[in-house]
Amino acid sequence: MYKPTIGLEIHCELKTKTKMFCGCANDPEERHPNVNICPICTGHPGCLPTINKEAVRKVIKLGMALGADIPTVSKFDRKNYFYPDLPKAYQISQYDQPLVNGGVLKGIRLERVHLEEDTARIAHSSQLADYPKGEKPASLIDYNRSSMPLMELVTKPDVTSGEQAVAFAKELQLILRYLDISSADMEKGQMRVEANISVSKDEILGTKVEVKNLNSFRAVSDSIDFEIKRQIELLEKGEKVVQSTRGWDEKKKETVLQRLKEEAHDYRYFPEPDLPPLDLAHFDMDGIRDEIIELPQQKRERFMAEYGLNEEQANILADSMESADWFEHAVSEAKALNETINTQAIYNYFISDLRGLMKEAGVGLDAIKVDPFHFAKIIAFVTEGKLNSRLAKDILKEMFDTGSDPEEIMKAKGLDEALSAEAIQTAIEEIIAENPKALEDYKKGQVNVLQFLVGKVMGKLKGRANPAELIELFKKILG
């Protein structure tokens, strides 16, 4: 039986105003090439870099959140290699004295977290829809991304499957967003995963293969599982696994050879001569620690304990800090209106109904017209029997479209007047008189006909009665 051994390297672009070593804007959304550039980030000779303090603080914050060790001194190094997207022919990175050592996330131990500069972006003419026809093929370089602050997190080889790798990467993405360290949008290239994979039958590790630049969670899972299978098949045939770097072909659903893997010594690391070592004692560590808010797992556990949600429901809410905050605000408003309101009802209307309307309209919580207070009112009206579920959904839809107060909507529809017991009794008697066949069927033992009669009464009363109470009244009247 072969045992997979997998380590992850995850790169994330940090949310800072400026780049890692110069004053150019750090704007990943900029679509005009070579706008946010200067002699430093384009590698002009003689230009000296300056360390972005905010980028350092953000990496330290992540380390603290993951229970890692923060050393007293850190330094930057030169990682030497040539590639067209690297204008200096070296990358300023960190080698033996990173900003963060150790830590753990979802049971996976961390090796380190360090800072470096990102590379430029290469676009081949064959990939560009607006490249002039008839022009010679070319590779174009956009230096906007060059020298953006890039965090690299390296795990211990504790991962054993594609599924586990995805769970780790998703949790890291959430934490980065919660702490406002990175938007970590994989589709935009703000978070990229690389996996080092080997298989063996014993404690001696097999030959490692690195799969580079995985830009979706599905690609992470599929590429790891494919590579495990590929290596096992090679070994079963008596062939050797070659240490190499491979890419993921999404169309063919297989890894493809890119180059033979370099070792660390091939990069000829040495201390960056233009940057002094970082004395981290000059950083306000207590201030950074105070910025660490409730993390996703802590929020899940609290939601289950405080609101009685199950694990799946807590996961759904914690997957978006915005959704979790909006839900909590709605709970607070609802409890202030009526302490007996069931939190589960608030969750159901929020996830099933409100988010359903949002999905249909293609908008997020920041763009909707419904606020938590008005949303809470709807739940209170249902709890108090002023609205049934069907009417509540209809009014919520109108609130979503117009932003109106639910009480105003109910008033306009004539739903704000309280029903008297006499009005309900009269409606029941009228429905019985109008449906003699249903009455006859009921007396023959067809009790399901009650649902039909209740529906008729609800229609007559504009949905304002309580269906459960109506069933009991019918039973009492019909005997």
**If you ran DSSP here, which 8-state letter would residue 287 be given?**
H
pLDDT score of 458 more than 80: no
Model confidence at 479, pLDDT cuts 50, 70, 90, reads low
pLDDT at position 429: 77
Q: Read off the amino acid at residue 439.
A: L
pLDDT score of 378 more than 80: yes
Using an 8 Å Cβ cutoff, are 375 and 336 in contact? no
Structural tokens at position 64: 């603290």
Place of tokens 């870099």: 49
Instruction: Report the range of poorest mean pLDDT among 66-80, 129-143, 186-200.
Output: 129-143
Indicate the angle between helix axes 449-460 and 467-478, nearest 10 degrees. 120
Nearest to 202 by CA among 356, 64, 60, 5: 5
pLDDT at position 264: 60
d(CA 464, CA 479): 24
d(CA 219, CA 194): 10
Residue 191: partners with Cβ closer than 8 Å, 6 or more residues away = 10, 11, 12, 13, 169, 173, 176, 182, 184, 185
Antiparallel, parallel or unpaired: β 244-249 and 209-214: parallel
pLDDT score of 460 more than 80: no
Phi (first) and psi of residue 308, to 5 degrees? 70, 20
Nearest to 73 by CA among 51, 91, 96, 97: 97
pLDDT score of 198 more than 70: yes
Instruction: For CATH 1.10.10.410, list the domain ranges present in the chain.
Output: 421-478
Q: Read off the amino acid at residue 275.
A: L
Instruction: Report the range of poorest mean pLDDT among 112-121, 244-253, 359-368, 456-465.
Output: 456-465
d(CA 33, CA 120): 10
Residue 98: partners with Cβ closer than 8 Å, 6 or more residues away = 71, 74, 112, 113, 114, 115
pLDDT at position 425: 77
Mean pLDDT of 37-57: 95
d(CA 453, CA 470): 9
Q: What percent of the chain has pLDDT over 70?
A: 96
pLDDT at position 427: 76
pLDDT score of 59 more than 80: yes
pLDDT score of 442 more than 80: no
pLDDT score of 417 more than 60: no
**If you ran DSSP here, which 8-state letter would residue 250 be given?**
T
Q: What is the pLDDT of residues 277-328, one digit of tens each?
A: 999 999 999 999 999 999 999 999 999 999 999 999 999 999 999 999 999 9
pLDDT score of 4 more than 80: yes
Residue 262: partners with Cβ closer than 8 Å, 6 or more residues away = 81
Model confidence at 434, pLDDT cuts 50, 70, 90, reads confident
Using an 8 Å Cβ cutoff, are 26 and 119 in contact? no
d(CA 35, CA 430): 76
pLDDT score of 392 more than 60: yes
Whole-number mean pLDDT of the chain? 91
Place of tokens 């269906």: 467
Q: From residue 56, how far is each of 20, 60, 149 by CA, in Å? A: 9, 6, 9
Structural tokens at position 377: 């009112």
Instruction: Report the range of poorest mean pLDDT among 92-96, 234-238, 315-319, 454-458.
Output: 454-458
Using an 8 Å Cβ cutoff, are 432 and 470 in contact? no
**CA neighbours closer than 13 Å in the CB half-sphere of residue 171:** 20
**If you ran DSSP here, which 8-state letter would residue 201 be given?**
S
pLDDT score of 336 more than 90: yes
Structural tokens at position 267: 């990069």
pLDDT score of 414 more than 80: no
Residue 318: partners with Cβ closer than 8 Å, 6 or more residues away = 174, 296, 297, 299, 300, 303, 324
pTM: 0.87
Indicate the angle between helix axes 162-178 and 217-236, nearest 10 degrees. 150
pLDDT score of 41 more than 70: yes
pLDDT score of 332 more than 80: yes
d(CA 25, CA 28): 9
Question: Is the model more confident about 450 or about 13?
Answer: 13
Which of the four CATH numbers 3.40.50.300, 1.20.1050.10, 1.10.10.410, 3.90.1150.10 does domain 421-478 have? 1.10.10.410
Mean pLDDT of 53-57: 98
d(CA 109, CA 68): 10
Mean pLDDT of 375-404: 90
Model confidence at 370, pLDDT cuts 50, 70, 90, reads very high
